[in-house]
Amino acid sequence: MRNKGQVRLMQGNEACAEGAIAAGVRFFAGYPITPSNEIANIMSQRLPQVGGKFIQMEDEIGSLGAAIGASLTGVKAMDATSGPGFSLKTENLGLAVMIETPLVLVNVQRVGPSIGMATSPAQGDVMQARYGSHGDYAIIALAPSSVQEMFDLTIKAVDLSERFRVPVILLADQVVGHMREKVVLPSYEEVKTAYRPEPTVPPEEYVPYRGDERGIPPMAKFGTPYHWYANSSAHREDSFQATSDYAVSEKLIHRLTDKIEQNKKEIVEMRGECLDDAEIVVLAYGCTARSARGAVIKARKEGIKAGFLRPIVLWPVADEEISGVADTARAIVVPEMNLGQYAHPVREAVCGRAKVFSLPKVGGLPLSSHEILEKIREVQRDG
C-alpha cells in the first residue's frame, strides 16, 4: 500500500506508526501496554502490507531484545511501550547503547511510579529517558507536542538513530498519543532517512568499533562475510575481546558519549516565539507546550513581555539555545507534568543568568494555560 500524499484526521499513536512506515521501519516487536497499544496494533496490520515483520514478544524485555536483533541484521526496527515497560526495557536499552544499535523506542508516558494510572498522562520519564540505564552514555530523546509531530518526529527519530548508531527515544505522552488532529502526510516515496554507515573495506580489514572522525563506526549486517561480535562488555575496537584495560574502557565510554554530545548541533531542535523582547520565557515540551503557548499569548495581551521556547529534542540538551534566552529574559518558567525534572538542565544551561522557576504538576491532570498564566503573573509581580 503506497501513500500518495494526503490530509487525514489521525490519532497520535496512529501517526507514529505511519511515520515509522514512511521512514522505512520494517520490523516491530512489542508487548501490550496502555497507552501505547494502538502503535503495536497498527504496525501489526501495516508492516505485512509493506513487506515488514511484526512480532509480539513474551514480555517487554524480550521485545526490545528482538528489535535489537533485527537491527543487527540491517533492518530498521522499532518498539513501543509506556512507563512500566520502559523501566523493564532499560537493561536492553543499555545493551543497544553499548553495541551501538540503531533503533527507535517509543514511550507514551503515563502516571507512575510502578503501575500508576494506566490511562492518565504524565511527563515523569524525562530523567529516566536520559539516565535510566546504568553507566555513562549519551542518548537522543524527542518530545512531540502534536499529532503531526508524532508522524514527523518518528521519521526524525529513525533518521537520527541510523546516522549516529544509537537508540533514539520518542518521548510522547498519553495526551498526544490519544488525541486526534489533522495530519498532512507526504508521499512516502519522498521521505528520506539515513541508513547506518556501512564498511567500505574488505571483510578482513573491517574494525567494527573504530569510529570515524565523528566517532561513529561503520556497521556491517549480521549474516554477511563481515564477522563481528555485539559485545556488551567493555571491548576493544575489534569487538571480539572483552577487556579489563582501564584505558580501553575509558576511550570507549568517551566515544559513546562524544558521538552525541560533540555533534549536538546536528541533533538539537528548538522552536521559539516572542523571544526578542521577552523578559519571562516559558519553556515547555510535549502536551504541556500547548498550554504554555496559550498562556504566553494571554500574557502578551495583558502587556507582559512573555516568550515561548519549546525543546523538540530534550536530550541532548540544547545548552547554547537555552542559555541564549538569558541574554534578554530575567526569568524562565518550566511547567511540567512531573516534580520539576527538566528544570534541572535548564538551570545548568543558564548558569544563574536568569532565575528558573519550576511549575510542577502530578497526578494525571494536564497543566492548563490558566495555571501557567498565573505563574507568569506571579513572576511578573515579584520582579
347: left (phi over 0), alpha (psi -120 to 50) or beta: alpha
pLDDT at 66 over 60: yes
Rounded to an integer, the average pLDDT of 256-260 is: 98
| pLDDT classification of 106: cutoffs 50, 70, 90 | very high
Percent of the chain with pLDDT over 90: 97
Starting at the edge strand found earlier in the chain, the sheet holding 280-283 runs: 270-273, 306-311, 280-283, 331-336, 355-360
Return the residue matching grid coordinates 523493564. 88
* Residue 165 and residue 279 in one domain: no
| pLDDT classification of 5: cutoffs 50, 70, 90 | confident
Q: Which residues contact 303 (CB under 8 A, 6 or more apart)?
A: none
| pLDDT classification of 281: cutoffs 50, 70, 90 | very high
* Residue 304 and residue 173 in one domain: no
Count of CB atoms situated within 10 Å of the CB of 231: 18
- The set of cell numbers assigned to 228 is 563481528
Q: What is the pLDDT of residues 21-37, one digit of tens each?
A: 999 999 999 999 999 99
Average pLDDT, the chain: 96
User: Could you tell me where the beta strands, DSSP code E, fall in the chain?
Assistant: 4-11, 27-30, 53-56, 77-81, 103-111, 117-121, 140-142, 167-173, 180-187, 270-273, 280-283, 306-311, 313-315, 331-336, 355-360
- The number of domains in the chain is 2
The pLDDT value recorded for residue 370 is 98
Structural domain harbouring 48: 4-190
Work out whether the CA dihedral 2, 196, 126, 63 comes out positive or negative. positive
Residue 266 in any domain: the answer is no
Residue 203 in any domain: the answer is no
Q: Is the Cβ–Cβ distance between 340 and 284 less than 8 Å?
A: no
The pLDDT value recorded for residue 241 is 81
Residue 246 in any domain: the answer is no
Residue 139 in any domain: the answer is yes
- The set of cell numbers assigned to 13 is 499513536
| CATH code where residue 292 lies | 3.40.50.920
Q: Measured at the alpha carbon of residue 304, what is the angle toward residues 298 and 306, in degrees to the nearest 5?
A: 75
Residue 275 in any domain: the answer is yes
Q: What is the pLDDT of residues 238-250, one digit of tens each?
A: 998 888 999 999 9
pLDDT at 1 over 60: no
Residue 35 in any domain: the answer is yes
pLDDT at 125 over 70: yes
- Considering 132, 163, 190, which residue would you say is the last residue of a domain? 190
- The set of cell numbers assigned to 73 is 541484521
- Considering 137, 157, 190, which residue would you say is the last residue of a domain? 190
Percent of the chain with pLDDT over 70: 99
* Residue 46 and residue 178 in one domain: yes
Return the residue matching grid coordinates 507512575. 112
pLDDT at 4 over 80: no
Q: What is the pLDDT of residues 42-53, one digit of tens each?
A: 999 999 999 999
Distance (Å) of CA 349 to CA 170, 197, 259, 371: 23, 32, 20, 25
- The set of cell numbers assigned to 289 is 507546550
| pLDDT classification of 3: cutoffs 50, 70, 90 | low
- Distance between CA atoms of residues 11 and 90, nearest Å: 27
Q: Is the Cβ–Cβ distance between 198 and 218 less than 8 Å?
A: yes
Burial of residue 143 (CB within 10 Å: 0-12, 13-18, 19+) is buried
Q: What is the pLDDT of residues 141-198, one digit of tens each?
A: 999 999 999 999 999 999 999 999 999 999 999 999 999 999 999 999 999 999 999 9
Residue 78 in any domain: the answer is yes
| CATH code where residue 133 lies | 3.40.50.970
* Residue 175 and residue 310 in one domain: no
Rounded to an integer, the average pLDDT of 76-86 is: 98
User: Could you tell me where the beta strands, DSSP code E, fall in 288-354?
Assistant: 306-311, 313-315, 331-336
* Residue 286 and residue 185 in one domain: no
Residue 214 in any domain: the answer is no
Rounded to an integer, the average pLDDT of 212-236 is: 96
Angle, helices 60-72 vs 83-98, to 10°: value is 30
- Considering 169, 190, 211, which residue would you say is the last residue of a domain? 190
- Distance between CA atoms of residues 376 and 274, nearest Å: 15
